[in-house]
Amino acid sequence: MSSTLHSVFFTLKVSILLGSLLGLCLGLEFMGLPNQWARYLRWDASTRSDLSFQFKTNVSTGLLLYLDDGGICDFLCLSLVDGRVQLRFSMDCAETAVLSNKQVNDSSWHFLMVSRDRLRTVLMLDGEGQSGELQPQRPYMDVVSDLFLGGVPADIRPSALTLDGVQAMPGFKGLILDLKYGNSEPRLLGSQGVQLDAEGPCGERPCENGGICFLLDGHPTCDCSTTGYGGKLCSEGLSHLMMSEQGRCFVLVVLQLPEPLASLPLAGHRASSSLAGHSLRCLSFPHWARLAAGPSSVGVGAPSLMHRGFPSPLSPWLLHSPPPFVILGAGPAGLHPRGKHETRHDGVDNGGE
């Protein structure tokens, strides 16, 4: 950026990886009974889309999820095979399958995501990815059916199902919660033999002072951003957590256009994003932040961050010779303001101006 920051306002949307906070404490309990199923509105997995959910089980086989094109060629099936998650799918009658490395029949919570990107489909399980790729003549998946969890209804004609024998597969036994298409919650159309589980991992309400419970890597975690408290359970005051040289709490706002990035503080933990990527690692819901630049200061603020004392003043060198990023609070050691090539304290190369 060569232009001055004087009297310029930037609006930047901070996209976060860990998922939405809505509906995380409700789930579906599957008993593994014959002809059990939960039916959701169709997931458009034709080209690019993500689907995710949390689940817990102690069995080694069972159908997790199924959709298809109405009995022609294309389908996508998630199932448990020998305690591992198998993703099996077909496009234009070309079929492949991938299997997770880890076993999941341990009665622990696991996070699963299926990411579709045209010819490539990725199975993500607790942060580990397995990729399957096809080379069909048609570069998209045809999806006609609704999405089924835990089993497929017995009253659907077998000729209308693409994967032979899917109705005969053992039903899933365990809990599934927080089903999302991208960031949206799909509509439940109906179910049979499935119970609504109102507890889930957040049922004991572990978060204090109004903190919101959500799942992170399968474990209950507290979002304290609107409470004025910090710590694991939102029980600690923020005074000893914020802007400390020892804790290296800082805010990195990257002014890299046309799509600015930002990393926000996460009570007492270093939480910064790589300048090369567009993924951030802090809170688990979108924020709209406003960056305001004046003749002697720059500030950033968002509704859920105002209790942290933003906007904050910055030293004048940021305005006289503006770099492609701004740091609020105690900057990471090893970052030299006037240098042409800088490296963060955690060893990630910023790549220069």
What is the C-alpha to C-alpha distance for residues 54 and 228, in angstroms, rounded to an integer?
29
Preceding peptide of 286 cis, ω within 30°: no
Question: Which is more confidently placed, 190 or 246?
Answer: 190
Average pLDDT of the residues in 307-334:
35
For the ranges 75-89, 165-179, 236-250, the lowest mean pLDDT is seen at: 236-250
Question: What one-letter code names the amino acid at 218?
Answer: G
| Residue 217, pLDDT score | 56
**pLDDT over threshold 50, residue 330:** no
Tens digit of each residue's pLDDT (9 = 90 or more) over 66-119: 999 999 999 999 999 999 999 999 999 999 999 999 999 999 999 999 999 989
* Polymer length of the chain: 353
DSSP state of 143: -
- Sorted by where each starts, the structural domains of the chain and their CATH numbers stand as 9-17+242-329 (no CATH), 27-197 (2.60.120.200)
Highest mean pLDDT among 16-20, 144-148, 316-320: 144-148
Q: Collect contacts of 230-234 with beta carbons under 8 A, ≥24 apart.
A: 230/267, 230/268, 231/267, 231/268, 233/206, 233/207, 233/208, 234/207, 234/208, 234/209, 234/210
For the ranges 174-178, 204-208, 240-244, the lowest mean pLDDT is seen at: 240-244
| Residue 198, pLDDT score | 52
| Residue 228, pLDDT score | 81
**pLDDT over threshold 80, residue 299:** no
| Residue 110, pLDDT score | 94
Distance spanning both ends of the chain, measured CA to CA: 9
Tens digit of each residue's pLDDT (9 = 90 or more) over 33-67: 999 999 999 999 999 999 999 999 999 999 999 99
**pLDDT over threshold 60, residue 172:** yes
What is the C-alpha to C-alpha distance for residues 292 and 37, in angstroms, rounded to an integer?
52
pLDDT band with cut points at 50, 70 and 90 for residue 152: very high
DSSP state of 213: E
| Residue 284, pLDDT score | 35
pLDDT band with cut points at 50, 70 and 90 for residue 20: very low
Average pLDDT of the residues in 314-327:
34
For the ranges 119-128, 220-229, 246-255, 275-284, the lowest mean pLDDT is seen at: 275-284
Question: Mean pLDDT across the chain, nearest whole number?
Answer: 68
Preceding peptide of 258 cis, ω within 30°: yes
pTM over 0.75: no
pLDDT band with cut points at 50, 70 and 90 for residue 148: very high
Measured CA distances, 59 to 18, 46, 145 (Å)? 27, 31, 27
